Amino acid sequence: MSWLVTGGAGYIGSHVVRELVRAGVDAVVYDDLSSGLEQFVPEGVPFVRGSILDEELLVDSLGRHDVTGVVHVAGYKYAGVSVQRPLHTYEQNVTGTQRLLSAMGRTGVDAVVFSSSAAVYGTPPTELVTEDTPKAPASPYGESKLIGEWLLRDQAVAEGLRHTSLRYFNVVGSGAPDLWDASPHNLFPLVFDALAAGRVPRINGDDYDTPDGTCVRDYVHVADLAVSHVAAARRLDAGEPVEAAYNLGSGGGVSVREIMDAMAEGTGVDFTPEIGPRRPGDPDRIVADGSLAARDLDWQMRHTLLDMVSSAWAAAPRG
Ligand SMILES: NC(=O)c1ccc[n+]([C@@H]2O[C@H](COP(=O)([O-])OP(=O)(O)OC[C@H]3O[C@@H](n4cnc5c(N)ncnc54)[C@H](O)[C@@H]3O)[C@@H](O)[C@H]2O)c1
């Protein structure tokens, strides 16, 4: 009996794999290494190099490793780029999920935890996003994640799939010094790259309707996120009820200026960020209510903003 983690060689998936192992759950990594790194797969954990588009390889892997559930993390995650690459995004996130669910149906694997995203909400017109906040994705990426959730829902009706979707907000930090976020578009790697190159990081706009004028976002630590995936897998294994979706958000939120202050403190690089113009479409504030996940999935903010910065900086590759 084991859990297969698609995308288990990526930033979030590798943390989920380590948490499964820590919890005594056998894990298998299935990843095409399109953005992941084989070195993120722990020793002793079976690794299948393959795409979620390859249904036959999925069928073979699910059977060969006696899989009982899947944490489906693999996906194409760049919301901004997805506007230029909608077909690629849909292929990876929708067709890939459809093939995975088909392979699961063929092999009798009936439990899945899905990596969804805050992007399903678009720009929510509310102070605090709950799971019931209307879905209004603003990119092919957000749309593809919402369709992924619908595929799970529909397979539950058709074949009794047991499922939950975890809607991540801004995932940062590192749970181990040898795991990092290699994304070229995320705030933390961008700021680190700027600091390493001697450039001054920039804040895009300081005239938003927030306490310090900079945008407020919901940052969560990847290690806390991983704990909730294992809790979800355990509930599914035990046949306990789960919600169709959970927000993994802090309920609080921090401003970009607060992040920059934490960056200076956590990296030891003293800098004053430049203030640039607003970016079109950036909402003032997006903060999520994580209380459902706290109730069911052991979701807690166990790390401070400074922990998030310091751990990510310690793990970030240099040079
Ligand atoms: N990082 C965030 O802040 C964030 C926020 C919301 C949702 N998510 C979602 O979480 C998931 C993981 O994000 P991440 O930050 O770890 O990204 P990542 O790029 O580090 O990880 C994705 C992993 O999936 C693998 N992969 C991609 N396409 C694949 C395919 N067709 N077949 C097999 N493997 C494939 C990649 O090689 C990589 O290892 C994604 O689905 C993303 O949409 C991330």
Three-class DSSP category at 285: strand
Active site residue 141: yes
Q: What's the gap between Cα 231 and its chain centre? A: 16
Is residue 12 very low, low, confident or very high in pLDDT (cuts 50, 70, 90)?
very high
Q: Is the CB of 57 under 6 A from ligand 1?
A: no
Ligand 1, residue 168: give the atom nearest the CA: 6
Q: Are residues 71 and 47 in the same domain?
A: yes
Residue 258 pLDDT: 96
The H or E element containing residue 141 is: helix 140-159
Q: Is the CB of 34 under 6 A from ligand 1?
A: yes
Pocket test for ligand 1, best of 18, 33, 35 (most atoms within 8 A of CB): 35
Pocket test for ligand 1, best of 41, 61, 77, 186 (most atoms within 8 A of CB): 77
Boundaries of domain holding 261: 172-218+250-289+300-315
Which CATH number do you get for residue 37?
3.40.50.720
Structure tokens belonging to residue 221: 């630590």
pLDDT tens digits for 52-95?
A: 999 999 999 999 999 999 999 999 999 989 999 999 999 999 99
Which CATH number do you get for residue 273?
3.90.25.10
User: Could you say which of 78, 141, 208, 219 is catalytic?
Assistant: 141
> Residue 318 above 80 pLDDT?
no
Residue 319 pLDDT: 58
Residue type present at position 254: V
Q: Are residues 135 and 214 in the same domain?
A: no
Residue 216's Cβ-count burial label (10 Å; 0-12, 13-18, 19+) is: buried
Q: Are residues 167 and 201 in the same domain?
A: no
Q: Are residues 105 and 119 in the same domain?
A: yes
Q: Are residues 186 and 262 in the same domain?
A: yes
pLDDT tens digits for 120-166?
A: 999 998 989 999 999 999 999 999 999 999 999 999 999 999 999 99
The pTM for the full model equals 0.97
Nearest CA owner, ligand 1 atom 7? 117
Is residue 315 very low, low, confident or very high in pLDDT (cuts 50, 70, 90)?
very high
